[in-house]
Amino acid sequence: MKFISKKTGLAALAFGIGLSAAAAAWSAENLDAVMKRRGLTQKDVLAAAKTYVPTGKRDEFIVFSSGGQSGQVIVYGVPSMRILKYIAVFTPEPWQGYGFDDESKAVLAQGRIDGKDILFGDNHHPAISETNGVYDGRYLFINDKNNPRLAVIDLHDFETKQMVVNPIMKSEHGGPFVTPNTDYVLQAAQYPAPLEKGYVPLEQFNEKYRGAVTYWKFDKKIGRLDPSQSFSVELPPYSQDLSDFGKGPSDGWSFTNSFCSERYVGGIERGRPPFEAGCSQKDTDFFHMINWKKAAELVKAGKAKKVNGHDMISIDTAVAEGILYLVPEPKSPHGMDVSPDGKYMIVSGKLDSHTYVFSFEKMMNLIKAKDFAGKDPYGIPILDLKKSLHTQVQVGLGPLHTQYDSKPCVVYTSIYVDSQVTKWDYCEGKVLDKISIHYNIGHLMTMEGDSMTPQGKYLVSLNKLAIDRFNPVGPLHPQNHQLIDISGDKMQLLYDMPVPLGEPHYAVAISADKLKPIVRYKSGWNSRTDKRHAHRTRPGKEKVVRDGNTVRVYGTTIRSHITPEIIEVNEGDKVIIHMTNLERAEDETHGFAISGTNVNLSLEPGKTASATFTADVPGVYPYYCTEFCSALHLEMQGYLLVKPKGYKEAAVKATEGTVYTKADYDKQHKTNVETQGVIDSVVGYITARNYADFPSVVALVEDATEQLNFAADTKKKAEGFAAKEDWQNATLWAGQWWQYQVKAADIGLRAKTYLDQNGAKVIKK
Amino acid sequence: MKFISKKTGLAALAFGIGLSAAAAAWSAENLDAVMKRRGLTQKDVLAAAKTYVPTGKRDEFIVFSSGGQSGQVIVYGVPSMRILKYIAVFTPEPWQGYGFDDESKAVLAQGRIDGKDILFGDNHHPAISETNGVYDGRYLFINDKNNPRLAVIDLHDFETKQMVVNPIMKSEHGGPFVTPNTDYVLQAAQYPAPLEKGYVPLEQFNEKYRGAVTYWKFDKKIGRLDPSQSFSVELPPYSQDLSDFGKGPSDGWSFTNSFCSERYVGGIERGRPPFEAGCSQKDTDFFHMINWKKAAELVKAGKAKKVNGHDMISIDTAVAEGILYLVPEPKSPHGMDVSPDGKYMIVSGKLDSHTYVFSFEKMMNLIKAKDFAGKDPYGIPILDLKKSLHTQVQVGLGPLHTQYDSKPCVVYTSIYVDSQVTKWDYCEGKVLDKISIHYNIGHLMTMEGDSMTPQGKYLVSLNKLAIDRFNPVGPLHPQNHQLIDISGDKMQLLYDMPVPLGEPHYAVAISADKLKPIVRYKSGWNSRTDKRHAHRTRPGKEKVVRDGNTVRVYGTTIRSHITPEIIEVNEGDKVIIHMTNLERAEDETHGFAISGTNVNLSLEPGKTASATFTADVPGVYPYYCTEFCSALHLEMQGYLLVKPKGYKEAAVKATEGTVYTKADYDKQHKTNVETQGVIDSVVGYITARNYADFPSVVALVEDATEQLNFAADTKKKAEGFAAKEDWQNATLWAGQWWQYQVKAADIGLRAKTYLDQNGAKVIKK
């Protein structure tokens, strides 16, 4: 047994290389044995093979799912059903620094209501931006039913960029939906309320409570909604619900369901029947047909009135101008799903076992012929249900939503009460197949299934109850998203995915190859405004600037130190810290947190993020990097010192904890020279192979080269102090030089492993 | 095409049953075809078969993983690697109502620092409670490094129950760890700081900055930490780190690593070498051996001094009483892992390629013989490294943590720089196998691998970088937990699991059959105090109580209505809403949110939760159930009305939106009678089978019976109004009667599906 020096420590490099190169032996246990041991059927193994994604391989589709009351968006892969990310939207989330750094606080502040921070959302329906009716993978929209708000996520970095509060609604369920070119994003009100702010007694429900649909103008170039160009159409106090935009022949129109067109006001505590009874009494409700293109022209022509400073077309104007019609639909409907060709609108009423297929052509002919079945109490023309229908099909008890297959005429409808999915043909009006799900499905989703180009292949059932599906985790259960293979004639259940946080409502899936997110920001980037940060810091330019009682820190992070390492302020100072992550390497995120405070930044490569706080309690506050970034991660630390008011500096000279000598320096220097030899051998191994054919390895080599440049700079520093016989500084800088070598070795070994596992070849030089 | 009545709607019951009973055909695509299409190797399919868990089947182990900077705990299953739940701990989380209801706010308030809410945590190390050194599955502990706090989660409902703030530390990494009977829970300080509150200049680092280890007394009966019975041992200003308790022969002792025993203070901004250089210069650091049982006796004997009101044994007392020793260890270590038999302590220094196995027996002999190698600057005796060692083994570059197999002497060590796991024998001191992981592993975990009874089978590698493993999701990557099969001689990589939120550090895995969480609370339960709620409400006892400007609402939720449905208050009132979920059915959670506010409750069956707010803006605020609970979920709504100050009631009589006649009542009544016939047929189907053999179905039948009882009560109400010729109320109550029938049918169909899919048999009656 020999005591270990740094030199023999690094000799493990060669050892590690030797063993990792040995191919793993094929397991002794064969497939039959595994099936027997684990009780798997052939069908199970087939499902496993259809969903398993081996290490390093990619999923075919990416799902963006509502996170329900978590207020976030869930991102997962199909067919693996592995959750890749929760994107923070309406709720502060510290891993992402969301709601903790000043930049994202500014986004959340856009969502204030009556001046108050609303720190959660109840999000329901994600929508991907479209170009010519096809998902373009650029932006994602998501609503908050409760508040009611709409957020914009940029898919180039998967961050929330904007939030708007609906100026006239009190709640909003039926949105967002986008026009085929994402010119507008739709929100439909849910529970009727006065559109003007303020109190109106419930006794005036029929007269003064209203619904509405809002059309938010979206600027695709800059990726932001433009409230000044947005408008609404006033609607009766029916509870508006899910909606969809027309496309193809129906482009220019939007369709919005409603429930409780009975206009019932409950009061079970007063002996009245509850809302659920009074809101489901009639056999039909209405969907609203709105000519939004003409509505936009009316707004431009000055025919809107201002409500809370926002343009709104009144019911009377909408009726007079012929842009608003009602069509009876099965009562208490959920889905409103326009066919890919824009010719049909499929609606299911959850208390009717039939799904209704409406014909846009028939409805337009009725409108053109002014062939109306009557008017509602607000004067809106009503089309005749039977005359508007293409067909109706008995699909099961509690039908809700419909999604489209890539095969013509084939659709899937979620059946809540039966806990099934029904596959049927909406052209010929016949049921093709049914499959049981577990349990009580709400929405369902096919791949790009609400666009003009559905991709087929898979369907996800978003179930509302999980009950016995998973290992128990207490009274609050995960939700269950079930993956179903729809490639064949019969649907096949493939996978149960528990949703660990939030109750998703709707989800959308896009071909993975349409997404091209970045892996780093331009250096010194404000990711929330997508501009260079006004307070970015370049390496070597770190500084602390005092202006009265405000102290502004311009800091940086890089493996494995924070600059500055000591920040001294006075009690009562306002402290603003701007941290820039200088890293260029993929996945080299650093964090920055200060003990006992809410200061908590996530610094992806290139990002500048800021924290503002008042140093109101004197004391000693360690800070550190919260992301395990390197071998010396735990040592990536510093101290914030808050001096009490009136504190008088004592002339205390610090003593070094450990004192180093020439011998220490010589030992370190020798180690470093030997280490360089080992590194050179790794570099030789890599450059002797066709590493330039592997973009990931090229990025690693660039990163390692940068670390070796830092090592070279630090070597000079150490040797300079040695020349001056300052052995303390010489030894420590020599130590830092070695640290850079270790970082380079770390990266080099990752590159080597990658080459070994991906069939790199030796090349001639 | 025929227009559909409620009757034919429910006829779909029979239809649904018919189709769901048809067995799905075996897919035409066979395994070879799937492998070819998806590019899977035999090894991939074997891994898929080893990890796939079919619908309704359970995982073998449950993992509790740190959620890192998310501040939460992640729960997932092994081998499926499906995430089952995020448990909210240090960060508010709205899906769980955590930090939104008054009850959980009280838990978070325990974690305040200097009176301020800290709204995130940087959690690192989960620990499961033990009985006789074996996981008992009752409680989970998790720390917050940044603040520094410790939380207690009760595994009977997976909720956070308690939080304590360390009274003397400023940061805390090396905890929690539990004694073999969970009498004490350990926290070790990280970055040295003054133990008393207040400012001390960094120049006095050596003299006045300190580390410490805190032993929190835990009362297993009530599941709470007892600060009054807890104490600390003062330690030198080395950065204490990971720790472990002894067991078996070493029971009574604890072991705590350190780094930066150089006591280096950085200052790169002042031209000094950074912390990373100065904290990694020496070849060794120290681990601390502390006799905690004797320390507890010393505290009882009054030998502790009070610091910030907390009992602390000073270094001097600890040395004088012989309860504190230092042992040199490889520099900058991460793990401190005591063997299942308590005889060995395995430590790895991340800058040394060797792992060190210390012998407890040898160390105790040195202590007994007072055979010390010297003293540190604080007078603590130091044992000789070589004399303390059992063996040392060269395992790879950057070794961090070690976990134990069920096979004697077999361990696994994470190798950060090499990105590998090394399997080795700590008795004989030899390497057995290595496997590459992706990339840069931190902790690793075997099943129950830090208890006295490791279970072997699987290992999870908690990797720090994911880079190219998954579909890209922007600059902030998911982490990667890799599942490795350790049942054979060679380790086999099985699965890559992305972690979508937070950066986990450590995780613990327990046999799933040790967890027996509840699925419902006793009715009217405060889940955070685990007592009957003082403001619970029983059905029919809902009320609104005004006391001055305080309005207290005693409300309930049940499918599908909230009582009360209308709440009227005045501007400026303090409103306190207590909601009790009356449901007894598993997974029948309701939510409660009020538009434009932060009122957001999660009401699992039986739970009472509360929201307190000031109604400061007059207006109309819809509220609703946020959990999709039933077909009439969207109609589970109500209105909060805030009347402006000085508002004078106008004598406005409300008009009904829709008026009903005798014909409406007769139609509804007829439908209900027919519906009952259909329900009876489903009931007959179920009761003709051995449903009593299926506990899940028994629960469903109980739930359905309850709904049918509600239906019977409501039937009486409807018929009563009909007798009085009040057709409005008669029709609406008849509608409500039908709603209860639909709920019963929903449940009945779920029961039927379960019976069909689980091989129920027809029985004679």
How confident is the model over B504-528, as pLDDT tens digits? Answer: 999 999 999 999 999 999 999 999 9
pLDDT in the model for residue A757: 85
Percent of chain A residues topping a pLDDT of 90: 90
- Is residue B79 pLDDT above 60, yes or no? yes
Show which of residues 590-649 on chain B sit within 8 Å of chain A, judged by CB atoms: 591, 593-598, 600, 602, 604-607, 617-622, 624, 626-629, 631-632, 634-639, 641-644, 647, 649
Measure in Å the smallest separation between the Cα of A500 and chain B Cα atoms: 4
Average pLDDT rounded to a whole number, residues B368-381: 98
Largest CA distance in chain B: 101
pLDDT in tens, A356-403: 999 999 999 999 999 999 999 999 999 999 999 999 999 999 999 999
Show which of residues 683-702 on chain B sit within 8 Å of chain A, judged by CB atoms: 696
* Half-sphere CA count of A83, side-chain side, radius 13 A: 28
CA–CA separation, B498 and A587 (whole Å): 14
Determine contact: A464 vs chain B, CB below 8 A. yes
B642: Cβ contacts below 8 Å, ≥ 6 apart: A199, B569, B570, B571, B573, B615, B617, B618, B619, B620, B621
Percent of chain B residues topping a pLDDT of 90: 90
Higher pLDDT, B5 or A520: A520
- Is residue B159 pLDDT above 90, yes or no? yes
Determine contact: B467 vs chain A, CB below 8 A. yes
Amino acid sitting at position A196: E
Determine contact: A7 vs chain B, CB below 8 A. no
Q: Provide the edge-to-edge strand list for the sheet that holds A410-415.
A: A399-404, A410-415, A420-425, A430-436
Average pLDDT rounded to a whole number, residues B172-180: 97
Q: Are A117 and A105 in contact (CB under 8 A)?
A: no
pLDDT in the model for residue A664: 96
Token pair, residue B588, equals 């029948």
Token pair, residue B755, equals 């019976």
By three-state DSSP, how is residue A73 classified? strand
**Sign (positive or negative) of CA dihedral B192, B198, B203, B208:** negative
CA–CA separation, A12 and A10 (whole Å): 5
CA–CA separation, A574 and A571 (whole Å): 9
Place of tokens 């070493």: B250
Average pLDDT rounded to a whole number, residues A482-500: 97
Chain B positions touching A736 (Cβ under 8 A) are 273-274, 276-277
Chain-centroid distance, C-alpha A325: 36
Amino acid sitting at position A333: P
CA–CA separation, A239 and A249 (whole Å): 28
Q: What is the mean pLDDT of chain B?
A: 94
B266 conformational bin, left if phi > 0, alpha if psi -120 to 50, beta if neither = beta
Q: Are B597 and B624 in contact (CB under 8 A)?
A: no
Show which of residues 433-452 on chain B sit within 8 Å of chain A, judged by CB atoms: 434-436, 438-440, 442
Chain B positions touching A711 (Cβ under 8 A) are none
- Is residue B586 pLDDT above 60, yes or no? yes
DSSP assignment, residue B668?
Answer: H
Strands B574-581 and B550-558: what pairing?
A: parallel
CA–CA separation, A480 and A471 (whole Å): 12
Measure in Å the smallest separation between the Cα of A712 and chain B Cα atoms: 15
pLDDT in the model for residue A143: 98
pLDDT in tens, B554-585: 999 999 999 999 999 999 999 999 999 999 99
**Which among B96, B114, B397 has CB closest to A617?**
B114
**Which among B44, B269, B498 has CB closest to A82?**
B498
Place of tokens 């970055």: B191
Confidence of residue B21 (pLDDT cuts 50, 70, 90): very low
Show which of residues 500-519 on chain B sit within 8 Å of chain A, judged by CB atoms: 500-503, 505, 512, 515-519
Determine contact: B392 vs chain A, CB below 8 A. yes
**Sign (positive or negative) of CA dihedral B611, B613, B615, B621:** negative
Q: How far apart are the first and last CA of chain B?
A: 42
Q: Do B194 and A620 touch (CB under 8 A)?
A: yes
What is the three-state SS of B320-382?
HCCCEEEEEEECCEEEEEECCCCCEEEEEECCCCEEEEEEHHHHHHHHHCCCCCEECCCCCEE
B interface test, pick of A172, A284, A634, A666 with most B CB neighbours within 10 Å = A634
CA–CA separation, A613 and A626 (whole Å): 19
Average pLDDT rounded to a whole number, residues A480-496: 97
Confidence of residue A296 (pLDDT cuts 50, 70, 90): very high
Measure in Å the smallest separation between the Cα of B301 and chain A Cα atoms: 32
> Which one, of B272, B418, B290, lies nearest residue B345 by Cα?
B290
CA–CA separation, B632 and B286 (whole Å): 64
Place of tokens 């490889």: B330
Confidence of residue A39 (pLDDT cuts 50, 70, 90): very high
- Closest-CA residue of A relative to B590 is A476
**Sign (positive or negative) of CA dihedral A448, A451, A456, A461:** positive
Measure in Å the smallest separation between the Cα of A427 and chain B Cα atoms: 14
Show which of residues 286-325 on chain A sit within 8 Å of chain B, judged by CB atoms: none
Chain B positions touching A120 (Cβ under 8 A) are 94, 100, 598, 600
Token pair, residue A632, equals 């010396």
> Which one, of A636, A638, A640, A644, lies nearest residue A576 by Cα?
A640
**Which among B92, B389, B492 has CB closest to A27?**
B492
CA–CA separation, B60 and B447 (whole Å): 10
Chain A positions touching B435 (Cβ under 8 A) are 24
Phi and psi at residue B511, to the nearest 5° = -55, 130
**Which among B22, B69, B201 has CB closest to A591?**
B69
Chain B positions touching A618 (Cβ under 8 A) are 198-199
- Is residue A12 pLDDT above 50, yes or no? no
The long-range contacts involving A28-35, CB below 8 angstroms and separated by at least 24 positions, are A28/B488, A29/B46, A29/B487, A29/B488, A30/B46, A31/B42, A31/B45, A31/B46, A31/B49, A34/B46, A34/B49, A34/B50, A35/B49
CATH 2.60.40.420 fits A525-643, yes or no: yes
By three-state DSSP, how is residue A588 classified? coil
- Closest-CA residue of B relative to A45 is B49
A36: Cβ contacts below 8 Å, ≥ 6 apart: none
pLDDT in tens, A415-454: 999 999 999 999 999 999 999 999 999 999 999 999 999 9
pLDDT in the model for residue A28: 53
* Residue A245 vs residues A163, A192, B525, B744: alpha-carbon distances, Å: 22, 22, 46, 36
pLDDT in tens, B649-698: 877 788 999 999 999 999 999 999 999 998 999 999 999 999 999 988 99
Q: Where are the alpha helices (DSSP H) in A24-101?
A: 31-38, 42-51
Strand spans (E) along A182-332: 184-188, 211-219, 224-235, 239-245, 253-259, 284-291, 305-307, 310-313, 324-330
Place of tokens 């024998």: B425
CA–CA separation, A176 and A409 (whole Å): 25
CA–CA separation, A87 and A66 (whole Å): 10
Measure in Å the smallest separation between the Cα of A354 and chain B Cα atoms: 7
CA–CA separation, A640 and A618 (whole Å): 10
pLDDT in tens, B93-110: 999 999 999 999 999 999
Q: Specify the CATH class of A61-264+281-514 in words.
A: mainly beta
Cross-strand bridge partners of residue B413: B402, B422
By three-state DSSP, how is residue A728 classified? helix
Q: Do B170 and A622 touch (CB under 8 A)?
A: yes
Determine contact: B670 vs chain A, CB below 8 A. no
Strands A389-394 and A354-359: what pairing?
A: antiparallel
**Which among B39, B54, B157 has CB closest to A475?**
B157
CA–CA separation, A544 and A363 (whole Å): 68
* Residue B35 vs residues A24, A50, A486, B48, B682: alpha-carbon distances, Å: 21, 8, 18, 11, 43
- Is residue A301 pLDDT above 70, yes or no? yes
- Is residue B16 pLDDT above 70, yes or no? no
**Which among B100, B282, B644 has CB closest to A120?**
B100
CATH 2.60.40.420 fits B532-643, yes or no: yes
- Closest-CA residue of B relative to A586 is B467
DSSP assignments along B458-508, one per residue: EEEEEES--TTSS---SSSPPEEEEEEE-SSSS-EEEEEEEE-SS----EE
DSSP assignment, residue B538?
Answer: -
Determine contact: A743 vs chain B, CB below 8 A. no
A27: Cβ contacts below 8 Å, ≥ 6 apart: B43, B46, B485, B488, B490, B492
- CATH number (3.90.79.10, 2.60.260.20, 2.130.10.10, 2.60.120.10) of B61-266+273-514 reads 2.130.10.10
Cross-strand bridge partners of residue B310: B307
Average pLDDT rounded to a whole number, residues B157-171: 98
- Is residue A488 pLDDT above 70, yes or no? yes
Q: What is the mean pLDDT of chain A?
A: 94
Show which of residues 218-277 on chain B sit within 8 Å of chain A, judged by CB atoms: 239, 241, 259-260, 262-270, 272-277
Show which of residues 12-71 on chain A sit within 8 Å of chain B, judged by CB atoms: 12-13, 15-16, 19-20, 22, 24-31, 34-35, 38-59, 62, 67-71
- Is residue A8 pLDDT above 50, yes or no? no
B interface test, pick of A477, A595, A647, A753 with most B CB neighbours within 10 Å = A595
CA–CA separation, B62 and B84 (whole Å): 9
Chain A positions touching B468 (Cβ under 8 A) are 56, 696, 754
Q: Are B239 and B190 in contact (CB under 8 A)?
A: yes
